[in-house]
Amino acid sequence: MLTIREIQESDAEAFIALLVQVSGETQFLLLEPDELNRDPGSVRQLIRNYRSTDHSTIFVAEDEGRLLGYVSTLGEPYRRVRHRVTVPAIAVRQEEWGKGIGTALLNGLVTWARSHGVLRIEVSVITKNERAVNLFRNRGFDIEGVKLHAVRLGNRLVDEYLLVKFMDDD
């Protein structure tokens, strides 16, 4: 049974394995596989840092003890921008694509955002990543703009959409 929950420090090793797998399955994530932090102690500290604040979190999708995907969000502690968060990453194991896990993760994130006073969720998505663009658009995100030549994929520069969801739109 699929469970969406906030990450725990005890998930560090499984989270590393998830990150390694998904980073090798798509070119659309920010980090290359060799840029990943694979030290369990450092990842536990990262999780601890996320969990120690009320403006950032990581959700994981778990089924029978196996992590299938994740979504993270970063917020600012400053009063003038505390109402917004950024989604730096969402990823699901390739063999689980098309099963609604990305939608479930995003729904969990939106619920969390509402309960934390977030009014604006921002995410950047490579324009050619139709699967991710559709995921966010189907959950009420609108394209606010385009960042030209924002990401290097191999030896070419590609554009990103800035997608935004205003929480009062639901």
- Spatial distance between the Cα atoms of 46 and 61, rounded to a whole number of angstroms: 18
pLDDT band at 122, cuts 50/70/90? very high
Tell me, what's the pLDDT at 64? Answer: 95
The arithmetic mean of pLDDT across residues 70-89, rounded, is: 94
For residue range 6-15, what is the model confidence (pLDDT) as tens digits?
999 999 999 9
Tell me, what's the pLDDT at 13? Answer: 97
pTM across the whole model? 0.94
Domain boundaries, the chain: 2-169
What does pLDDT average to over the chain? 95
Q: Are 107 and 71 in contact (CB under 8 A)?
A: no
The arithmetic mean of pLDDT across residues 123-132, rounded, is: 96
Tell me, what's the pLDDT at 35? Answer: 87
For residue range 32-71, what is the model confidence (pLDDT) as tens digits?
888 888 899 999 999 999 988 989 999 999 999 999 999 9
Tell me, what's the pLDDT at 169? Answer: 61
Answer yes or no: is pLDDT of 170 > 60. Answer: no
- Spatial distance between the Cα atoms of 8 and 104, rounded to a whole number of angstroms: 18
Angle ∠(53,57,24) on CA atoms, nearest 5: 140
The arithmetic mean of pLDDT across residues 119-124, rounded, is: 97
Q: Is 95 helix (H, G, I), strand (E, B) or coil?
A: helix
CATH code of the region 2-169: 3.40.630.30
Class of residue 156 by CB neighbours under 10 A (exposed 0-12, middle 13-18, buried 19+): exposed
- Spatial distance between the Cα atoms of 46 and 42, rounded to a whole number of angstroms: 6
CA torsion sign for 113, 114, 115, 118 is positive
Answer yes or no: is pLDDT of 113 > 90. Answer: yes
pLDDT band at 30, cuts 50/70/90? confident
The arithmetic mean of pLDDT across residues 119-129, rounded, is: 97
Which among 73, 75, 69, 120 has a CA at the least distance from the CA of 95? Answer: 69
Answer yes or no: is pLDDT of 20 > 90. Answer: yes
Which among 75, 103, 88, 100 has a CA at the least distance from the CA of 30? Answer: 88
